[in-house]
């Protein structure tokens, strides 16, 4: 092991493991880990602030991803959350956002539990031009490594806030809940801006008495459980973009 290479026992390496594995560590330290050059590059492009980058043998430092540390052989495999990790990790600082003033649309994810679903929702929301994704208390952490990966870096390009449905309403957004059985087909409702689309937990959905201003459903053929929450959010986000109800408007004509 070269003098400048960190071994598995090093305190910084143990910190990387904590930040990857524990939400409480991310919250306490206001920092999180990004894995792989593609996602680190997305965060650099998004203007995120970095503490340091950790380069394994065969990896290359990334400009803008903080001071460079080198890892000894075999360390990254014991730290990373993927089976065949790419040879770089970086620690970035958690960025806190505020709920935006009402304009366009945003998505509220209520106690969403599955990292893959939140990742997909972030990706669709960003691509469709959402102003923000709000997570109610109790939702999966947006800096969970699986969320970051499933978002394909979208988490670095769309503002994410923690806020209750009531707080979103209080900010002046009209809140519309999505349901499998309540409300009108989304195609029948005006859904003009500013509108906050609220999607519910995977297992329980959004509570029928959730404090929303209205309800929509996505009509579908056949079986009752045919759409999951991430697919539903994708459909609604792109329909809002089609209508020009996103930030910047008229995305459909770009």
Q: How far is the CB of 15 from its own copies (least distance, A)?
A: 29
Q: How far is the CB of 222 from its own copies (least distance, A)?
A: 6
- Site for its own copies contains 221 (CB under 8 A): yes
- Site for its own copies contains 113 (CB under 8 A): no
Q: For its own copies, which is the closer residue by CB, 67 or 222?
A: 222
Q: For its own copies, which is the closer residue by CB, 131 or 198?
A: 131
Give the burial class of 156: count Cβ atoms within 10 A of its Cβ; 0-12 exposed, 13-18 middle, 19 or more buried.
buried
Which one among 185, 204, 208, 211 touches its own copies, defined by CB under 8 A? 185
Instruction: Report yes or no: 229 and 112 within 8 Å, Cβ to Cβ.
Output: yes
Instruction: Report yes or no: 132 and 198 within 8 Å, Cβ to Cβ.
Output: no
Q: How far is the CB of 144 from its own copies (least distance, A)?
A: 19
Q: For its own copies, which is the closer residue by CB, 71 or 229?
A: 229
Retrieve residue 49's tokens.
Answer: 């602030």
Half-sphere exposure of 114 (CA within 13 A, CB side): 15
What whole-number distance in Å separates Cα of residue 79 and Cα of residue 1? Answer: 17
Helices (H), 46-102: 76-79
- Site for its own copies contains 227 (CB under 8 A): yes
- Site for its own copies contains 127 (CB under 8 A): yes
Q: How far is the CB of 32 from its own copies (least distance, A)?
A: 20
H-helix or E-strand containing 168? helix 165-170
- Site for its own copies contains 106 (CB under 8 A): no
Instruction: Report yes or no: 167 and 105 within 8 Å, Cβ to Cβ.
Output: no
CA 140 to chain centre: 9
Which one among 37, 129, 142, 194 touches its own copies, defined by CB under 8 A? 129
What residues have CB less than 8 Å from 248, skipping those under 6 apart?
Answer: 104, 129
Piece of the chain touching its own copies by CB under 8 A; list 9-17, 20-28, 117-125, 191-199: 117-125
Q: How far is the CB of 34 from its own copies (least distance, A)?
A: 16
- Site for its own copies contains 157 (CB under 8 A): yes
C-alpha to C-alpha distances, 233 to 19, 51, 78, 99, 253, nearest whole angstrom: 29, 34, 35, 19, 21
Interacting residues with its own copies (CB under 8 A): 42, 120, 123-124, 126-129, 152-154, 157, 185, 187-188, 218-223, 225-228, 231, 234-235, 238-239, 241-242, 246-248, 251-254
């Amino acid at each position: 092991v070269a003098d400048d290479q960190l071994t598995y026992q090093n305190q910084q390496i143990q910190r990387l493991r904590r930040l990857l594995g524990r939400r409480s560590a991310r919250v306490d330290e206001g920092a999180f880990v990004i894995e792989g050059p593609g996602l680190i590059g997305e965060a650099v492009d998004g203007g995120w602030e970095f503490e340091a980058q950790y380069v394994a043998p065969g990896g290359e430092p990334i400009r803008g991803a903080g001071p460079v540390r080198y890892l000894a052989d075999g360390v990254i495999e014991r730290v990373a959350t993927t089976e065949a990790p790419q040879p770089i990790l970086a620690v970035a600082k958690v960025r806190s956002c505020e709920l935006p003033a009402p304009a366009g649309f945003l998505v509220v994810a209520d106690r969403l539990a599955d990292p893959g679903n939140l990742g997909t929702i972030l990706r669709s929301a960003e691509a469709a031009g959402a102003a923000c994704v709000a997570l109610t208390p109790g939702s999966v952490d947006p800096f969970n490594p699986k969320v970051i990966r499933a978002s394909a870096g979208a988490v670095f390009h769309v503002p994410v806030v923690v806020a209750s449905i009531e707080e979103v309403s209080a900010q002046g957004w009209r809140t519309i809940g999505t349901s499998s059985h309540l409300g009108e087909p989304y195609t029948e409702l005006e859904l003009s801006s500013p509108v906050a689309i609220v999607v519910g937990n995977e297992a329980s959905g959004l509570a029928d008495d959730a404090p929303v201003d209205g309800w929509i459903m996505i009509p579908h053929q056949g079986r009752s459980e045919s759409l999951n929450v991430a697919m539903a959010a994708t459909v609604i986000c792109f329909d809002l973009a089609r209508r020009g109800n996103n930030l910047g408007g008229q995305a459909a004509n770009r």
